[in-house]
A and B are shown apart, each in its own frame.
Chain A
Amino acid sequence: MKRSFAGIKFRLALAGVFFLLLFLAITVRAFQLQILEGEKLKRLGERQHLKEWIVLPKRGTILDRSGEPLALSLEGQSVYARPHRLKESQAVGRSLAQALAMDPAEVMQKLAVDKPFVWVKRQVTPKEAERIEALNLDGVGIYYEPNRYYPQGQLGGQVIGFVGRDSQGLEGVEMHYNHYLRGESGSSLVERDALGRRVLVQGVEELQIPPGSDIQLTLDTSIQHLAEKELEASVAKYRAKAGIAVVVEPFTGEVLALANYPYFNPNNFTRQSSDQWRNRAVTDSFEPGSTFKTILAAAALEEGVVGKEDLFYCEYGKYLFAGRIIHDAHEYGWLPFSKIIQHSSNIGVTKVAEKLNKERYYKYIEKFGFGQATGVDLPGEATGVVRPVGKWAMIDLATHSFGQGISVTPIQLLMAYGAIANGGFLMRPFLVRRAVGPDSRVLWENQPHVVRRVISETTARTLTSILKGVVDDGGTGVMASMEGFEVAGKTGTAQKPDLVRGGYSAKKRVASFIGFVSADDPRLVMLVIIDEPEVNVYGGTVAAPAFRNIASASLQRLGVVPDKLTPQPIPAVAMQEASLTRLERSNDRGVVREERALEVPDFIGLSLREAVEKARALKLKVEMRGNGYVIKQSPAAGATWGRGEMLTLNLQG
């Protein structure tokens, strides 16, 4: 074939057509992608570029009652990887494992995940972060996220609780007050690159998020520290399994200390079991044993079925009741009611309970708050188990009277004793005083709350004097007595129910002491429970000394002046002298009373707490009605009025 110029021109034209078709295809495709589907594709793009960037505010601080920080938020660093971007994941994995002191196999496993993003290690140390920076690996980075730090370590660990990695409270105050502590997280639409990093767009202000609110506890760090130290010492000394100590301000219900041994350090909550972080004083119930006799005594006194000195025959240690024999630890014959409590006679209280009857007894069990949550501001509160009176067998009247067959939480029992201490009011316990915003403004304040009046003031006083006897010579709680202060309290040595075989365990005991001090002007009511002590099992021996040590140091810390400036005589020789001291003391008060007639101070506008504090400072007897702030008082402010008179305050709010 001869080369023809025309033929080539034709073929060039055909090639031109081929190119034209390609051009057309691309033009049409561009029009389709950019105009017809443009909007749809753009939206699709925005879905990946624009990401709602959630900024967690800095979590608020938890402070003790004097402003000591117990939980702080610090900036922490976490190491992440982008497995899809890793070029030599083997080598990267090895160097990561080395830099972070991790198991290479574990790191490899994480890097092998088919995800765009994985955490290699969260909350690394500054040193580790530095090493990672130095490695400068492609696809590995450091993310800054807040880290919760508990400067006091285990102190009050179960009360404070802990926080998950995304600032959600998981236990304790951290959980209950999460709303305040966490604050409002903010979010904004930000542009992100394919690696998920923010693209800084000029002119867009960095999102400013106000931090969460601070929470101030009623807890007193030094009392808490004392309680923990003494509790641990007692548990160790008696080779016990666990222990609980709770200290509450009886007039307000403020919890000053709450210790659960074994202790829990929220700084590394993952390494401890849930048993350890549970606040057992609130979440667990137990059979109270003899400490519950006080509840029966309160009921019987309030109902007027017994007087302090009424005599009961205690059958010399064995008493057949409802087909069962009730035993006493010691044999007694005739005992006055006060001595029945003092010696903790099971037979004595059974006879009192018979006289009271079960319906009336049950009414007081309920009034004292057993079987119901106290409303303490902590998560997971248990109610204990109180069977309704209709289901009581005959024997239950006896067993309940000495604290068997019923279960209560430590905090319930403590608040019941608080009602005896404060003249008859069941208070709601609380751990948090207030929430303070970032601008130091008080956002919310917890107010003392009277749940109800349980017993009259007269009953409370009578009962107090009986409970003083428990600590006096001849009582079961002598070891709780302390120099300078009168203690009112009760020992308990409860058998533990055997959950496997039924009935009660032959050996296991719960030793406890509960009481308040000073008996007639109580500043604190306290419960010490030692669970399964081995060396000795009696509450008076095992728990009472811890009570004494914690109480006396706490009173000193609170700056309370001792009632009795003369040293407490040695109990073994001083039964008489003790009563003598008491006489002197009441004389003392009489003098004060006669000396002055006072102008009634002004309480209007004060909060319940402030009113209680003011009344206590002025040593006035006050009756509160309602909650909130004082709106009315009688007698009115400025009126002349004698010390002995009762001041009535009406609150509202």
Chain B
Amino acid sequence: MRDGVAVDGWLFFAVAALLAVGITMVLSTSYLYSQERFGDGTYFFRKQLIAAGVGLVALFISALLPPAAYRRFAYPLLALVLLLLILILLPGIGVERGGARRWLSIGGFAFQPAELAKLSLVLYLAHSLAKKADKVGIFSIGVLPHLVVGGLFLGLIVVEPDLGTALTLGLVLLLMLFVAGAKWSHLALIGLSALPVLAFAVIGAEYRLRRLLTFLDPWRDASKSGFQIIQSYIAFGSGELWGRGLGESRQKLFYLPEAHTDFIFSVIGEEMGLLGALSVLALFAIIIVRGLRLAAKIEEPFSQQLTFGLTTLLGLQALIHMGVVMGLMPTKGLVLPFISYGGSAMVMNLIEAGMLLSLSRGRR
């Protein structure tokens, strides 16, 4: 083991490779759409390049900061995010797109507070769980406060509405509580009490119910509600083993909605085949494996919790995106970290990666 500035090379390699694949795929998937909408095929690509540049700078800065420095941001960030999440719900402040208020416009840049909320919640949980390390098994101290803060976040995100992000965060919360040592019985209780809330959320909004039914059998209504997921199947199927070749996707010709964001993995499957899809999966596997190994090695509670939380956050988003586009989970608009188009997510994901790299420093 060398002590010093060396970071986890595997982790850095995986992130860099995903970023390269991502930038390429954004160009491939957005070109025609962008051409269609703005008369400029590289519009999205250029915006993504800028986001990646900003994100890389942020990655290096966060990688250079010592993990202990993050801890100081835990509460201020929590407060800021709560404020922002409330602000975007107010008409006139939040930017509405496609029926959802998920964006804040700051100086011409649309920004998604939910992306910041992900990091903020992980940071808060790591801090709080580390602080209460010995009392996590006590419900009122180790579980309840986290449930209240997490529930507040989730609730605010659900009403945007962005159920996908909320569910992802819920899972991250549960996993972090679990690893921190929460009792099985407490976790089971949370799970059981979450069920009616979930059921209410699904049945309460007709489109969510429809989505769920479509998930169960997309072919039942192949031309309408099942259309999207079937188009995604077709993309994967058309890729077969080797793929059609980069840029050769047919499904991105408006058969797939949002091919450059919510369905980008389908286009990867179509253009680069099973081998390409599994390669991307393998890159995420590297991040998760390295992250979990790192968490297992770290003894300092905050760093350990933060490592596990960030790894889970990045890994779960990727796995859920893939599961959704392959029809293993009900359709939700979730982006693939480092790959999908979207500035807020790109910058935040790279900051998260930078933090992981910082955590890995000197622990090899």
- Interface residues in chain A, defined as those with a beta carbon under 8 Å from any beta carbon in chain B: 1-5, 7-9, 11-16, 18-19, 22-23, 25-27, 29-31, 33-35, 37-42, 44-45, 48-49, 191-195, 199
Contact = CB atoms under 8 A, between A and B. Distances in A.
A172 B250 CA distance: 46
B323 A42 contact: no
A35 B181 contact: no
B181 A7 contact: yes
A5 B137 CA distance: 15
Interface of B: 32, 133-134, 136-137, 175, 178-181, 230, 233-241, 250-251, 253-255, 269, 273-274, 277-278, 281, 285, 288-289, 292, 295-296, 299, 301, 304, 308, 312, 315, 319, 322-323, 326-328
Contact of B236 (A13, A18, A30): A30
A35 B255 contact: no
Contacts of B254: 193-195
A27 B253 contact: no
B76 to A, nearest CB: 27
A124 B233 CA distance: 40
Contacts of A34: 236-237, 239-241, 269, 273-274, 277
Given A26-B281, A27-B278, A38-B237, A49 B134 contact: no
A460 B360 CA distance: 118
A85 to B, nearest CB: 9
A33 B236 contact: yes
Q: Which 3 A-B pairs have the closest CB atoms?
A: A41-B237, A193-B253, A194-B254
B240 A15 contact: no
Contacts of A11: 178-179, 181
Contact of A8 (B175, B233, B288, B304): B304
Contacts of A9: 296
A12 B295 contact: yes
Nearest to B236: A33
A35 B250 contact: no
30 contacts: A2-B134, A5-B299, A7-B181, A8-B179, A8-B181, A11-B179, A15-B178, A16-B288, A19-B288, A19-B315, A19-B319, A22-B323, A23-B281, A25-B328, A26-B328, A27-B281, A30-B236, A30-B277, A31-B274, A33-B236, A34-B241, A34-B273, A37-B237, A38-B239, A39-B240, A42-B240, A49-B255, A191-B250, A193-B253, A194-B254
Contacts of B277: 30, 34
Given A30-B326, A34-B277, A41-B233, A49 B250 contact: yes
Contacts of A49: 250, 253, 255
A553 B299 CA distance: 115
B212 to A, nearest CB: 19
Given A12-B295, A26-B328, A3 B133 contact: yes
A40 B134 contact: no
Contacts of A5: 299
A25 B319 CA distance: 10
B237 A40 contact: yes
Given A26-B323, A44-B234, A45-B237, 5 more contacts: A1-B134, A3-B134, A35-B240, A44-B230, A45-B234
Contact of B240 (A1, A38, A191): A38
Contacts, number: 133
Nearest to B284: A23
B312 A35 contact: no
A453 B240 CA distance: 76
B255 A15 contact: no
B285 A23 contact: yes
Contacts of A1: 134, 136-137, 181
Contacts of B292: 12, 15-16, 19
B134 to A, nearest CB: 5
Nearest to A49: B250
B133 A35 contact: no
Contacts of A8: 179-181, 304
Contacts of B269: 30, 33-34
Given A26-B322, A33-B233, A48-B255, A12 B179 contact: yes
Contact of A23 (B133, B134, B301, B319): B319
A22 B171 CA distance: 13
A488 to B, nearest CB: 72
A1 B139 CA distance: 12
Contacts of B299: 5
Contacts of B289: 16
Nearest to A44: B234
A10 to B, nearest CB: 10
Contacts of A29: 323, 326-328
A437 to B, nearest CB: 39
B322 A45 contact: no
B320 to A, nearest CB: 9
